[in-house]
Amino acid sequence: MKLAELSLAQVAIYAFPLIFAVVCARKLGPANYGVVAFYTALTPFLCMFIEFGFDTIGVREVHARSRRVEPEQVMWSVTLAKLLVCLLTCIVAVPVLLATRSSAEASMAYAMLVYLIAFALDTSWYLRSLELMRSVMFLAAASRLAGIILLVCVVTGHEDMAAAMWTYTFVAWANAILGWLLMRKSRVLGRPRIELPHLHSLFKSGASIVVGGLSAASITTGGIVVLGALADPVLTGAASMALRIRTAGQAPLLPLIQLGFVRLSTLVGSDRMAAVAFGRRLFYALMAISLAIALLIIVNADFIAALAYGLPAAPEPAGVLVRVLAIGIPVGVAGNLFGLQCLTLFEQERAYVFVLLVAAAIFFGLLLFSNASNSANYGWALLAAESWAVLAAGLQLRRVLRAT
């Protein structure tokens, strides 16, 4: 039942970006959609700074023996830490955007700033860690449905780029506000208490994870930002669309990934051998499902791309990129399980950082020293980087398990 509830939540979460991309691509046109794609790619990239690995660490801390009596204190500490990082991120990022981008895009930059604040206040990770999946389902469905309705109402022509970005921001705030209301109703808020030692430990652990997280984001959404600077807007929009289609393809796996991580966290804290056995079963299930999804997208890549753009035939780069990025779905899923989840649970944050730093170097090396305007190069660079991450993280995890 929890898996089914979390599945419905993920359908809502990943339906919105896909519908957002389709509506914007059709109403704004390929060029203007490319500009919106730049901001919607940059926003989650900056969110990686704000998240700082706190959500992953928070799930682990909630299930730690020392925190099981008062798990709400983990939530308060994580939220405060994210707000502090958000303040610094906004101070640096927004002025740079206002100085370097067109003045016509100022409203979009401000919308991004407001989005970042809402992201810092999001506590969906805490509801998942307590396995309150029904609340997570309602939260995701209500905020995304409201966002889709607003999007269809306000984005009606080629000039509605700012309206599209503010709709993107509205969803983040609806998600944050409803999350706090649900926690209050469920009586899992507790009284806030600032614990400076705990805050310090969160930053210390998060400092390692955020470097790895930023490296991971740089080889997906960061690559879109690079394309926005080096390639034409049509290719940038096509890459963004292909990435969203791949993300939507991974959406059915997210409930299993997230619930699996919560259960792994619980088992690692009590019985490591049981955690290893559960991890193997989780890996086999993820690979079987991801391979089926990847094949389905590859076979229908041109049709999916054309459907997304609402044209008889999608722009030439779109079908190629959808196909190449779909090949990497099983690779990306395995890399997430071996790296972010398992290495973090076994307190191997430094190894996780090293693996992803090398992956980012491989990605940008291949992208920048090849022809970035070639439609397939972004996809092949991403696949090469993720393949390295799976291999390196898997070998490190194997070494750690043999040692224990």
Considering only CA atoms, which of 249, 400, 402 is closest in space to residue 323?
Answer: 249
Token pair, residue 57, equals 């660490």
Predicted confidence (pLDDT) per residue in 366-386, tens digit = 888 876 566 678 888 889 999
Owning domain of residue 216: 2-403
Greater confidence (52 vs 109) lies with: 109
Mention every residue, 6+ apart, whose C-beta is less than 8 A from residue 381. 219, 223, 362, 363, 364, 366, 367, 370
What number of other Cβ atoms are within 10 A of residue 322's Cβ? 29
Domains of the chain: total? 1
pLDDT band at 57 (very low <50, low <70, confident <90, very high): confident
Portion of the chain with pLDDT greater than 90, in percent: 13
- What pTM does this model have? 0.65
Considering only CA atoms, which of 337, 335, 300, 343 is closest in space to residue 319?
Answer: 300
Alpha-carbon dihedral sign for residues 42, 45, 49, 55: positive
Predicted confidence (pLDDT) per residue in 75-125, tens digit = 888 888 889 889 998 898 888 888 888 787 888 889 989 999 999 998 888
Helices then strands, each counted (H, E), the chain:
18, 0
Distance CA 310, CA 299 (A): 19
